[in-house]
Amino acid sequence: MVSPNDSFIELENLLEKKFSLKEVLIVEAESKSSDKIIKKQAGSAAATYLRRTVSKGNIVGVTWGTTLQAMVDAMPTKPIEDIHIVQALGA
């Protein structure tokens, strides 16, 4: 098994260049993993990304879904002043 920490850097860089993206994160999952496990891994990666990138004055748009819930569940506490969380979709 390949270590997920550095194993996808080349592919992430390739995708960033090809599609003019600021950052790509690839999350490794076993082929036999359940949807629940995959969402938990993706949510954890998203929580790490958001914690690293969110800062004072940001507006963060969120939607509904089980993967987003997994991100919220994995989100560590980070006190930030003047941040706004807004619903981006829904009724």
pLDDT digits (tens, 9 = 90+) for 34-56: 999 999 999 999 999 999 999 99
Provide the pLDDT for residue 2. Answer: 42
Please list, in sequence order, all residues whose beta carbon lies within 8 angstroms of the beta carbon of residue 11, skipping any fewer than 6 positions away: 26
Structural domains of the chain sorted by starting position, each given as residue range(s) with its CATH number in brackets = 9-87 (3.40.50.1360)
In this prediction, residues 74-80 reach a mean pLDDT of 88
Asked if 56 and 80 count as a contact pair (C-beta separation under 8 A), the reply is: yes
* Residue 40, φ and ψ in degrees, nearest 5: -65, -45
Average pLDDT for the chain: 88
How far apart CA 12 and CA 24 sit, in angstroms, is: 5
Provide the pLDDT for residue 26. Answer: 92
> In the predicted model, is pLDDT for residue 78 greater than 90?
no
pLDDT classification of 1: cutoffs 50, 70, 90:
very low
